[in-house]
Structure 1
Amino acid sequence: MDKMRLKLLYSDLKSDLEVIENELAAAVNSSSHLLNEASLHLLLAGGKRIRPVFVLLSAKFGNYSIESIKQVAVSVELIHMASLVHDDVIDDAETRRGRETVKSQWNNRVAMYTGDFLFAKAIEYITAVKNTYAHEVLSHTMVELCIGEIIQIEDKGFVDQTVRDYLRRIKRKTAILISASCELGAISSGADEKTVRRLKRFGYYVGMSFQIIDDILDFTSTEEELGKPAGGDLLQGNITLPVIYAKNDPTIHPLLQKVFDGEIEEREMQVLLDEIRQSDGIKRAKQISNMYLQKALHEVKQLPTNSAKKSLQNVALFMSKRNF
């Protein structure tokens, strides 16, 4: 139901999103049968295509043309796809969106080269944009994404993380690519500098809110809704905001340590998940997510009035209130 609601929010982009989908299928095509299979496996798993949607909506604040904008939309989605493939290797994840991951279907080697291939195709696509500043934005984004992944590896199993540690990590892991999607959409359509900056900030705030909700859902949603095991982040050693707020509870802290020492039993894991759900960690994390959402909505209010303005607001509200 929620996925249907999301599609309705940007139903006026349906034909343009079909163009993007077809272009993505063409982009992952190569002379290697194995690369084709692995890339299509990920592409056919679907996704919300949030980043291309933000590219298209942001481009509406300039001279909109799907033929020129599609290069940017495909590029940012390819980067997102590549980061997911690499993520699954790092986290040793078996499923994503209810399907086997590339590393699970094939192996780590195939997954890493598939991710590298998708990154390379993203760079190839962005070269069609003549504004060289767009190239700078994309390359900087890719660098920050990689740094974010390394920081996440360094932070794995480190119980005494702070809220600041977490926020800096998700900025690189998630928010920066959504921010770049908005910025690049506006740049490539020739929007004015003030609007470009505002859309960039909007994307950052939405991205922060989005990732915090994602981390909350890892505890509050079912495996069926998530397409992966509930509490999966914790089992992979990743400390998220609800855990940071709840970790000093005398019941939770020792169980967390057992998780990261690899000594926790299935029964104890269920106790830990229940304790986190019942703690104030979920509520406090939602408050931080809402703070970022309000900042994003403030940026939208300052944008020039057009058909995309209301859509940006609605998609931002949905992303921060969703349950999948």
Structure 2
Amino acid sequence: MPLHPDSPAVPTPLPFSFELYPPRSDAATLALHDTIRILADAGPAFLSVTYGAGGSTGGRSLEVLRRIRATTDTEPMAHLTCVGNTYSGAAALIREFLDAGILSFLALRGDPPAGSSEDAAFLGDLESSAQLVQLIDRVQAARVPYTEARVPGLPGAAHVQRRERAQIAVAAFPRGHPRSRHPREHIDALVAKQAAGATLAITQLFFHADDYLSFVSRAREAGVTIPILPGIMPITAPGRLRRVLELSGEDLPGELAVALEIEPTADGRREVGVAYAAALVRAVVAGGAPGIHLYAFNHHDTVLAVLREAGILTPHPHKEAAR
């Protein structure tokens, strides 16, 4: 049931990626292994794995990242947050990820724990994601300042080469950060993250293409040159929409909300959510988005359906099995 049947077609191939979170039970772990396999088979640029506030799921995050590294050809991306981290603790965690072969990170300031004040006291030693970006770069430089390639036929000789630098992504906020003190603070923050060494930005969710496109335009005018990936979340239930709006502070997307409320079946609501997200994908790509990042909620069927309906993926052999 497409909400926007006249949305422009998407050019292919277009890079896409997915966000996952660590499982909370053994049964969820087995299900996530299947999801990783199926999502990786679709050919994403990377699979990112969230990291619990204050390190609550740090060990499980690393397990998932290792699983992606060991069983797929897809790049794993580790989330890191400033919340509750000391310099030494964050540096140790970064080294642990690097030792596991992880070379892609998403550096986040993070949200305050429930019930904490809105000042910076909850952050620990790291006060901004820009500082975390710099720390990732310094830890990697200290661990591998350069690499050496042997020279055939000359024992002991080597070519000294520059190390492969980590890709460090950061968050961007199309409609402003909830704790921004002035209208341009989120743009200034993105400029600072880029100056600190960020190589990619991924937006928080949004529901209207103009929110993303106008944000990118303002960021470019301010001097941001790194790619800005739109983060899109397919919403397939009214309760999920309400919860997302509570957490994000986004305005109610009226067309989507009404369509979800009046649709009587779960399958019908899924079609509504997929169609809305696919139309959003087509619109932002038509406006110049360099790729698409989808929040998967640890399920592969919905996000792959969005990509198929948007014209990014052809029908996939896993489609029927995933339903």
What TM-score results when the alignment is normalised by the length of structure 2? 0.35
- Greater strand share, structure number: 2
Bigger radius of gyration: 2
What TM-score results when the alignment is normalised by the length of structure 1? 0.35
- Greater helix share, structure number: 1
